[in-house]
Chain A
Amino acid sequence: MGLALLAVIWIITFVSTYFFIWHPWWLPAGASAAAAAIDHQFNNTYIAMGIVFVLAQCCLGLFVWQYRDRGSNSAPVSYSHGNTTMEIVWTVLTAVLFVGLNLMGSQIWAAERFDPAGPSALPVEVTGMQFAWYFRYAGPDGKFGLTNPKLMDPSSGSEAAIGLDTSDPAAKDDVVTGTMFLPVNRQVDLTLRAVDVIHSFFVPNMRFKQDAVPGLAIHMHFTPTQIGDYEIACAELCGLGHYKMHGMLKVVSQEDFDKWMAAREAEKQ
């Protein structure tokens, strides 16, 4: 039985580890400025945890086999209530490992979240509602117009869905779309809002996630660095349509973005 336990524990350990190394299913390709640092920290963590995982499981398997009761052939039990020195040693080592990992990761968190977006960032407002995402661009005046919950009409889509108050002059040039376009290599200053329940704006390739909470307008930023199409998923349970509340982020060249914006502005006339 001891041998069986050792075998099964070791096999489970090695199979799991194998998948972590071979990774047929893994973090998707990073396409934002933050991705490299996050992925690097991820690697550090999973190597450290991986080593601990393998060592702990292999020790467990080894010990239950090595110290199995062999009847009269067994050595006497080594009666002991513990070893204070070892306790101190492995407590300190564990603390250093965990706190160290945490402090390394904290630097990335600080870089991503402690400071607001830069002055040349593109402001985009993201509004989540059951069960769609809308994106608003401020237009040439650079200001977002007012919205009014009383004017919201989700069934008509676009401007009315987010309750754009067209009597506000700043709202006249706002562009509301169901697909998000961003220019590559430019920081975007997102304002996240939600109309009804909590949603979460999640773009795996951008290593970006942020809850959109009713009653709050949350500012967050990221910088896309690769041109391409990226799926947006909702990452906070929002009702029966949560699984199909997805959108599309298209990262294009600055040129293409300007052309697209111009076309949208033209449509509004």
Chain B
Amino acid sequence: MSTVAPNFAVKDPRAGDAGGGAPPSFGGGGDGDSGGNGGFDYGERLRRARLGLVLGLTAVIMLFVGFTSALLVRKGLPSFDAQTNTYSRDWVAINLPWTLLLVNTAVLLFSSLTMEFARRGIARQAALAPVKSIPGVTLGDEKPFPWLGSTVILGLGFLAGQLLVWRILHERHFFVNTGPSSSFAYLLFATHALHLAGGVIALLYAASTSWLLHKPVEAQRIVVDITAWYWHFMALLWIYILVLLMIVR
């Protein structure tokens, strides 16, 4: 692919950050081609997907910023009690099953570990894919450990653990409308769980890209990579939620 370009230097002093934001070369044509796959630059697509994920996570952060500010305001807020003509606070701390929550935390952190192994594993596979396409070349280790599947199971385990937390709270008579501390606990747990469930679905999709949809391993790698970072974020978010609930107790 030839590039038709002006054969003199173009000086534009107004172009402040010349080249700011890497000028992408579109679709290959010899630049940045990861090789062997129809002219796609997977490295570029991965970077782009990661940027998209960072932005998406920013939005999720803002959702929890909204919840956090509501929580802090509500905790500190006195309400006018007409019966006594005074302002009073009505925050009664929820009795959370901390042991179970810590077990769930361990499960989630462990799943982050398996997720990370899965991510690195498929990154290696993607890097070696061009080599594999050379006839006669094999690299042992044809059956890698199912890190992805393990993450799914651990993720589902976490969600099951959260359902158990919900049940215990009911037994302790803390329902969603029992008081503000309960409402926020249920809200934060449920929103996190929903987002995590979304992550599990993404993992199932990632697993299916190989044997169901027959996408090239580089494409799979992007899906797994993005889901992995999302998954790690979910773990960090969980820790944040626990710390927050601990502080406002």
CB pair B84–A215 under 8 Å, yes or no, is no
Q: Shortest beta-carbon distance, A193 to chain B, in Å?
A: 8
Interface string of B48-85 (1 = CB under 8 A from A): 00000000000000000000000000000001101111
Binds B, one of A43-51, A83-91, A145-153, A198-206: A145-153
Tell me which residues across on chain A come within 8 A of B87, comparing CB atoms: 217
Q: In the docked arrangement, what's the CA distance between A163 and B80, Å?
A: 15
CB pair B83–A148 under 8 Å, yes or no, is yes
Which 5 A/B pairs are nearest by Cβ-Cβ distance? A147-B82, A215-B79, A217-B80, A148-B83, A216-B80
Of B14, B79, B80, B82, which is within 8 A of A148 by CB? B82
Q: In the docked arrangement, what's the CA distance between A144 and B87, Å?
A: 15
Q: How many contacts A-B (CB < 8 Å)? A: 24
Given contacts A144-B85, A149-B83, 9 further A-B contacts (CB under 8 A): A81-B14, A146-B82, A146-B84, A147-B85, A148-B82, A149-B82, A215-B79, A216-B80, A217-B80
Q: In the docked arrangement, what's the CA distance between A217 and B84, Å?
A: 12
Tell me which residues across on chain B come within 8 A of A149, comparing CB atoms: 82-83
Interface of B is mostly: loop
**Can you list 19 contacts pairing A with B, beta carbon distance less than 8 Å?**
A81-B14, A144-B85, A146-B82, A146-B83, A146-B84, A146-B85, A147-B82, A147-B85, A148-B82, A148-B83, A149-B82, A149-B83, A163-B82, A193-B80, A193-B82, A216-B79, A216-B80, A217-B85, A217-B87
Q: How many residues of A contact B (CB 8 A)?
A: 12
Q: Which residues of B contact A (CB under 8 A)?
A: 14, 79-80, 82-85, 87
Q: Which residues of A contact B (CB under 8 A)?
A: 81, 144, 146-149, 163, 165, 193, 215-217
Tell me which residues across on chain A come within 8 A of B82, comparing CB atoms: 146-149, 163, 193
Tell me which residues across on chain A come within 8 A of B85, comparing CB atoms: 144, 146-147, 217
Q: In the docked arrangement, what's the CA distance between A216 and B80, Å?
A: 5
Tell me which residues across on chain B come within 8 A of A148, comparing CB atoms: 82-83
Q: In the docked arrangement, what's the CA distance between A148 and B80, Å?
A: 12
Q: In the docked arrangement, what's the CA distance between A215 and B77, Å?
A: 10
Closest A-chain residue to B82, C-beta based?
A147
Q: Shortest beta-carbon distance, A136 to chain B, in Å?
A: 12
Q: In the docked arrangement, what's the CA distance between A6 and B183, Å?
A: 60
Tell me which residues across on chain A come within 8 A of B14, comparing CB atoms: 81
Closest B-chain residue to A163, C-beta based?
B82
Tell me which residues across on chain B come within 8 A of A146, comparing CB atoms: 82-85
Q: In the docked arrangement, what's the CA distance between A51 and B14, Å?
A: 36
Tell me which residues across on chain B come within 8 A of A81, comparing CB atoms: 14
Tell me which residues across on chain B come within 8 A of A193, comparing CB atoms: 80, 82
Q: In the docked arrangement, what's the CA distance between A35 and B82, Å?
A: 33
CB pair B80–A215 under 8 Å, yes or no, is yes
Closest B-chain residue to A152, C-beta based?
B82
Q: In the docked arrangement, what's the CA distance between A163 and B138, Å?
A: 86
Q: Shortest beta-carbon distance, A128 to chain B, in Å?
A: 14
Q: Shortest beta-carbon distance, B228 to chain A, in Å?
A: 46
Which of B14, B80, B84 has the largest count of A CB atoms less than 10 A from its CB?
B80
Q: Shortest beta-carbon distance, B18 to chain A, in Å?
A: 18
Tell me which residues across on chain B come within 8 A of A144, comparing CB atoms: 85
Tell me which residues across on chain B come within 8 A of A147, comparing CB atoms: 82-83, 85
Closest B-chain residue to A143, C-beta based?
B85
Tell me which residues across on chain B come within 8 A of A217, comparing CB atoms: 80, 85, 87
Q: Shortest beta-carbon distance, B83 to chain A, in Å?
A: 5
Tell me which residues across on chain B come within 8 A of A216, comparing CB atoms: 79-80
Closest A-chain residue to B83, C-beta based?
A148
Q: In the docked arrangement, what's the CA distance between A174 and B1, Å?
A: 92
Closest A-chain residue to B77, C-beta based?
A215
Q: In the docked arrangement, what's the CA distance between A147 and B83, Å?
A: 6
